[in-house]
Structure 1
């Protein structure tokens, strides 16, 4: 599903991502680890099609990556930073909007919204507005919007941010369930608990610690 061959990103003399080569099949997980500044977010942005590599080959599902390609967008979902949130839409409104955009039938969008909010423990907050959430709830809400659409590859940058240990375990279960459904997961994290809970192949960038 994912092929990266000698991919690197540089700006002038500055290396944002040293050359890296990885492979991942359908249902695999790539756990991207490394110190701050090692290039984890750049690695994810290259896979998500929002940053072109300086050199190397990147393919997902046998095709070149590119955020403007419709088939690529259907195949790949990413949360690299929190998604945009409208102050006058409730959590339910946000998730339903995403689900409706991608669903083939309105009933499917409604069911997806209900299920995703429940999965992340947000059902009781569904009528709140984004500004009424705690930082941890906001993080879960961003993940809910990302999960509300179909995808074959899921790219996440430190989804454990702002979460207590209990919610980190919950997110690990949710992500592992996606793997079991055949989703290929790419996850940058500093959390050993999240990495262990999701499982998969560790990709070390920079010096391993």
Structure 2
């Protein structure tokens, strides 16, 4: 199997401050890479580099053999990321948002609608479909954000602490959903402080504590 993610001595420095000490890691399709580390060791920075929203100061990063390029449509179609909550329109319902994302990426409206409803059901958002974003609790908002990133095709899924604001039961649900994407062949890169999430999906673990 070909390598999907290849990072070699990737580091980030800004204004003489090291945001990410040089790190190397590779992983393949259908595997979940868990990124662990204390706050300040560069977990989110590493994910931003992978998502193409931050350029490394040193080293090289390739996804599916190609240089990371956020403006390349092929890259955007290949890589989905949730690093912080995505923007939400106050006058669109939960289902409106999720269907809009699916429709943006899928040509068939019926397929898009089916994908949206499938993601809603997977994450247990059925009872919230007609609510507006401001009517959701913090935990519900977190699940809604995750639904938005899952409502599109991808080969690589990048998530920054998807367990935030979730109780243990919902973390368990998220583990099941992420396992299903991994088992279907997607490559997952997840920064997390949750032992339950890490143990539930990890195929390999990268600790940034040693590099910091």
Same fold (TM over 0.5): yes
Distance in 2, Cα, partners of 1:56 & 1:199: 25
1:56 pairs with one of 46, 55, 59: 59
1:16 pairs with one of 11, 15, 19: 19
Residues 117-156 of structure 1 mapped to structure 2, 5 A cutoff? 117-156=120-159
Contact 1:35/1:207 (CA < 8 Å) preserved in 2?
A: no
* Counterpart residue number, 1:113: 116
| Unaligned 5+ runs, structure 1 | none
The alignment of Structure 1 onto Structure 2 pairs a total of residues equal to 208
Tell me by how many angstroms 1:13 deviates: 2.3
RMSD over aligned Cα atoms? 0.9
Q: What are the Cα deviations for residues 139-171 of structure 1, in whole angstroms up to 9, with x where unaligned?
A: 000000000000000000000000000000110
Tell me by how many angstroms 1:27 deviates: 0.6
TM-score, normalised relative to structure 1 = 0.98
TM-score, normalised relative to structure 2 = 0.97
1:174 pairs with one of 169, 174, 177: 177
Tell me by how many angstroms 1:199 deviates: 2.0
Q: What are the Cα deviations for residues 79-117 of structure 1, in whole angstroms up to 9, with x where unaligned?
A: 000000000000000000000000120110010011000
Distance in 2, Cα, partners of 1:23 & 1:189: 18
Runs of 4+ in 1 over 3 A off after TM superposition: none
